[in-house]
Amino acid sequence: MSAPRHILAFALLGSSLPLQAQSLGDDPLLGELKLPTVLSATRLKQSPAEVPGSMTVLDRQLIRASGARDVPELMRLVPGMMVGYRSGNQMNVNLHGTNISEARRMQVLVDGRSVYRPGFATVEWSAIPLAIEDIERIEVFRGPNTAAYGANALMGVINIISRHPRDYAGTTLKYTQGDRGVSDWYGNQHFRLAQSDWRLSLSGVADDGFDLLEPGVEYRDSRQLERFNLSGAFNITHQQTLELQLAASHSKQQYYYDYEPYLKALRPSRDTLGAYDYAIAEHNPDSDSQISDYSLQGLWKNDINPDHSVQILAYAQQMNREQAWRACDSPIVFIDELKQLYDLNPTAARRVSKFLEYADAAYDMRTAMQISLGSEYTAQLGALGEAIKQARNGYRNSEPVCWDIDHNMEENRIHLEVQDTLRVNDQLRLMSGLSYRYDRATSETFFGGTVENHIVQGFGNLEYRPHARWLFQLGGMLEDDRLIGTSFSPRIAGHFFIAPLHSLRAVYSEAVRSPDMYENNAYWSYPIKNASGPVPANPEYYATGIGPGDLEQERMRAVELGYHGNFSRQGVSLDVRFFQERIDNMNSEPLKITDFYPNNNSRVEFRGGEAEVDWRLGYADRLRLTYAHIVYDASSKLDERLTPRHSGSAGWIHEWPAGFTSSLFYYGADELNERRFERADLRLEKRFELSASSALSLALTWQERLDDEALTWDENLYDSQSQYYLSAELSF
């Protein structure tokens, strides 16, 4: 059945319901009925039936019932969202897929503040300074939304909205303990000062990550995270409010040795190998990291009158990463011939290293390179290869050169934004705004110093309702990026209302993603500090990863047909979308210092459908189903790995008598990085009312993998398919 036929079927179903115009006053779409609202689609408060796209809302009940310990695990409840793990402390979240190693194409906000790193265009999920217990809801816009949030929102927006300080009372303490090293803690305190409410939260998360690197070898990928979050809300006048948030986090993460020697050891044996090979085989220091994240944020709102409001958002944030260790390699990495070879042909430089592992073999380097490189071979490359081979023979029995490496980085962002919302009349509503952002990244290794950027945005969204059954929206973002240039991202959408809570929509949007500083402006080199061993005079590492500086923006064009319906009497909310998304000018290259070739040569196209059903069966039961079917065509194999054709989730929450609550969830995907994923989660909770103002909750969460696959990568293994953790929460 084609997409239009699916939508027509839902339209006929919705049209069988009464319009309820009699009970909604003069305007059958506004009236007195309290509709659910979302904020993150267009920056306007809208009902889900009015959103120009598909929106998933994970509310507080769903977040608690899931038993999830972090936000990426919650994203499995979002249709079409893919969750991948590089290691136990490195999580990636992508809508529909693309490159598994770097999630570069979604905007992630915490109360409107972007936590998308300015230097590396990723999200450090393990360092976000907001506890999951402090989240009120998460709004996920599934689809391009550059029109509202700028160039990082190419494929979607995740807005994590914290609980308002007025929603707290007294004190809450919580502790969670389980296998795989799970040890989490949380505490909050509510207090009032004059005309303000405040909430102070302290929390920590710790676990051991995956169990096995390979049979019998433990995996070093644990994490420890401590967070501080202070949130305050002021009622300045009846029309004006001010919200403040001060947040900080400190994370420790385990990593293995993060340097690949140009010449590797063959076997760790003193009897058969020279000094270099044995030393390299034995040298394997850890490169653990520490990440500190600080932010200060303020939001001022002024409701001038019921039809006009203004707000100003301002925030400053800083992220520091400390990661340093000592690397060792052959003195050959500093010779002029290798640097010349790399400058002429990095592929040849990499392949020579493979040949040199077998330098004792009787072969001619020129012939070997000619066979390996084919049409890329030149006589100059062969001559350099032969010179490198001779240098290798000279260094055969030498000690390696060792020096200090650091991947330390400091990233800063300052953001100021003004937004105006005006209802001109019953038919017309306008949101408009301006913002300025300053980004800076400093790293001697990755940038050779500091890279700065200034971004100015002008955005708006116009709603026009010519009739009770019709709604049209026109939105766009004009963005000037000093490092990239100027771009405009438009969106146009039309809704037809079958009934007040049931709409058909058609959306066309264009979106962009600006290359980050690392892709476009990197100057990645290894300064040689505190060197030891046979150090040549004025050593200079042979490889340098230099960003081209002229990368173009990735560009998406997307079309969506959808239906949203709220069957209020039956307690059912249903959203269905069919989409076609094409991204051109993509950069899909793995960016390593020895293979640093960011470009705009890739493209990908996604087609498919997504559905989401939320059914509240009275007070005691809630059922939730999601499903996504995605067909993709990508020019790069790297952009195919994280896109299953079929994925989804199912959940059942039940309130039992005597304070018991149970929840059962299933998550499945037929292929995540070429691996099947299926898991069932069970959570049981018992609440004890200790007094009128105090309660104790005990909960057990049990997760069971229903497949026998590694998670995303071969090395991401557990020694058991089951995991459990217990939590106790006391509020008073």
> What is each CA distance from 679 to 145, 221, 386, 504, in whole angstroms?
31, 22, 54, 34
Are 700 and 684 in the same domain? yes
Are 298 and 446 in the same domain? yes
Mean pLDDT for 244-264 is 92
Are 195 and 288 in the same domain? yes
Are 635 and 599 in the same domain? yes
Nearest CA among 517, 525, 520, 495 for reference residue 507: 495
- Whether 154 is in a domain gets the answer yes
Of 26-30, 70-74, 334-338, the least confident: 26-30
With a pLDDT cut of 70, the percent of the chain lying above it is 92
Q: Between β-strands 401-406 and 529-532, what pairing exists: parallel, antiparallel or unpaired?
A: antiparallel
**The pLDDT of residue 637:** 80
Q: Is 508 exposed, middle or buried (0-12, 13-18, 19+ CB in 10 A)?
A: middle
Q: Which tokens is 515 given?
A: 């290359």
Mean pLDDT for 646-671 is 95
**The pLDDT of residue 102:** 66
Which of 358 and 6 is assigned the larger pLDDT? 358
Are 358 and 242 in the same domain? no
- How wide is the angle at C-alpha 615 spanned by C-alphas 612 and 616, nearest 5°? 145
20 has pLDDT over 50: no
DSSP string, 456-490: EEEEEEEEEEEETTEEEEEEEEEEEETTTEEEEEE
Strand positions, DSSP E, 500-591: 502-513, 523-524, 529-532, 545-546, 554-567, 572-586
| Phi and psi, residue 372, nearest 5° | -70, -45
Distance between CA 591 and CA 101 in Å, rounded? 10
Task: Using CA atoms of 634, 635, 639, 643 in order, give the dihedral in degrees to the nearest 10.
Answer: 20
**The pLDDT of residue 358:** 65
Mean pLDDT for 154-169 is 93
Strand partners, 703: 681, 723
**The pLDDT of residue 361:** 53
274 has pLDDT over 90: no
Nearest CA among 156, 446, 127, 525 for reference residue 292: 127
32 has pLDDT over 60: no
User: pLDDT band at 426, cuts 50/70/90?
Assistant: very high
**The pLDDT of residue 5:** 44
> What is each CA distance from 251 to 226, 318, 378, 585, 720, in whole angstroms?
7, 14, 49, 35, 27
- For residue 596, give the CATH number of its domain: 2.40.170.20
**The pLDDT of residue 16:** 40
**The pLDDT of residue 267:** 55
Distance between CA 504 and CA 432 in Å, rounded? 26
- Whether 453 is in a domain gets the answer yes
Are 585 and 543 in the same domain? yes
Mean pLDDT for 163-190 is 95
**The pLDDT of residue 131:** 95
Strand positions, DSSP E, 36-155: 54-59, 81-87, 90-95, 107-110, 113-114, 135-142
**The pLDDT of residue 11:** 41
302 has pLDDT over 90: yes
Mean pLDDT for 525-551 is 91
Mean pLDDT for 61-90 is 93
83 has pLDDT over 60: yes
| Phi and psi, residue 71, nearest 5° | -65, -40
**The pLDDT of residue 100:** 60
Are 250 and 371 in the same domain? no
CA 540 to chain centre: 36
- Whether 449 is in a domain gets the answer yes
369 has pLDDT over 50: yes
Distance between CA 583 and CA 577 in Å, rounded? 19
Are 29 and 137 in the same domain? yes
Of the candidates 339, 365, 394, which is a domain's last residue?
A: 394
Count the domains in the chain: 2
Of the candidates 394, 421, 439, which is a domain's last residue?
A: 394
Mean pLDDT for 588-602 is 86
**The pLDDT of residue 26:** 38
- Cβ-contact 656, 608 below 8 angstroms: no
- Cβ-contact 135, 60 below 8 angstroms: yes
**The pLDDT of residue 275:** 79
Are 264 and 349 in the same domain? no
- Give the number of residues written for the chain: 732
Which of 80 and 594 is assigned the larger pLDDT? 80
**The pLDDT of residue 17:** 40
Of 273-277, 554-558, 612-616, 643-647, the least confident: 273-277
Residue type, 509: S
**The pLDDT of residue 557:** 96
Distance between CA 629 and CA 278 in Å, rounded? 52
434 has pLDDT over 90: yes
Q: Where are the alpha helices (DSSP H) in 124-226?
A: 146-149
Mean pLDDT for 112-141 is 91
Strand positions, DSSP E, 163-288: 171-178, 183-193, 196-207, 212-214, 217-218, 223-235, 240-253
Nearest CA among 561, 467, 470 for reference residue 10: 561
Give per-residue pLDDT as tens, 677-698. Answer: 999 999 999 999 999 999 999 9
User: pLDDT band at 353, cuts 50/70/90?
Assistant: confident
**The pLDDT of residue 23:** 36
Strand positions, DSSP E, 64-182: 81-87, 90-95, 107-110, 113-114, 135-142, 156-162, 171-178
**The pLDDT of residue 195:** 86
- The whole domain housing 473 covers 3-159+168-327+405-731
- Whether 399 is in a domain gets the answer no
309 has pLDDT over 80: yes
Are 486 and 337 in the same domain? no
2 has pLDDT over 50: no
- Whether 71 is in a domain gets the answer yes
- Whether 422 is in a domain gets the answer yes
Are 239 and 314 in the same domain? yes
**The pLDDT of residue 373:** 87
**The pLDDT of residue 10:** 38
Give per-residue pLDDT as tens, 392-416. Answer: 888 877 889 999 999 999 999 999 9
Distance between CA 600 and CA 584 in Å, rounded? 8
110 has pLDDT over 80: yes
Question: Cβ–Cβ contacts within 10 Å for residue 367, how many?
Answer: 12
Question: Cβ–Cβ contacts within 10 Å for residue 434, how many?
Answer: 15
User: pLDDT band at 101, cuts 50/70/90?
Assistant: low
Are 338 and 221 in the same domain? no
Residue 28 carries which DSSP code?
Answer: T
Mean pLDDT for 226-240 is 95
**The pLDDT of residue 3:** 45
Of the candidates 352, 370, 394, which is a domain's last residue?
A: 394
- Cβ-contact 400, 280 below 8 angstroms: yes
Distance between CA 184 and CA 69 in Å, rounded? 9
Mean pLDDT for 298-321 is 96
**The pLDDT of residue 717:** 85
**The pLDDT of residue 9:** 43
What order of strands is seen across the sheet that includes strand 107-110?
54-59, 135-142, 156-162, 107-110, 113-114
Supply the mean pLDDT for the chain. Answer: 89
- Whether 146 is in a domain gets the answer yes
Nearest CA among 291, 356, 275, 288 for reference residue 324: 288
Mean pLDDT for 136-155 is 93
- Whether 481 is in a domain gets the answer yes
**The pLDDT of residue 359:** 54
Residue type, 3: A
Q: Is 619 exposed, middle or buried (0-12, 13-18, 19+ CB in 10 A)?
A: exposed
Of 92-101, 675-684, 693-702, 716-725, the least confident: 92-101
pTM comes to 0.90
33 has pLDDT over 80: no
